Amino acid sequence: MTPERWILFIAVQIVGMILPQFANVHLNIAPSIFGLVLLLPGSPPATLFSERLPTWTAVMIIAGVNASAWWGVAKLWDTELK
C-alpha cells in the first residue's frame, strides 16, 4: 500500500476506536454502531475474545485483521486498475 493509504487506514482506525467512547447507550447508540462499522472486519473476532483478553490485545487483533483486509483490497484494486 502507498503511504497515503496507510495514513488513511490509521485515521479510520483511530476514529473507529474513539467514537464508541462518546456513545451513550441509553440516549444515542449511533457512535458505537458507526465505530463498529469502521472497524470491520476486525471487530467481530476481537469481540469474541474480549472477555478473556486484555484491551490492548483486542486492539491488536482489530488492527491486525483490518490491516490485512485493507492490504488485500489495495492489492486487488491495484491489479484491477492495471
pLDDT digits (tens, 9 = 90+) for 19-54: 877 777 677 777 777 877 888 888 888 778 777 878
pLDDT value of position 45? 80
The contacts of residue 53 (CB under 8 Å, 6+ apart) are 61
Q: What is the Cα–Cα distance from 74 to 49, expressed in whole angstroms?
A: 28
The pTM assigned to this predicted structure is 0.72
The contacts of residue 79 (CB under 8 Å, 6+ apart) are none
pLDDT value of position 80? 65
Confidence of residue 2 (pLDDT cuts 50, 70, 90): confident
The more confident residue out of 16 and 23 is 16
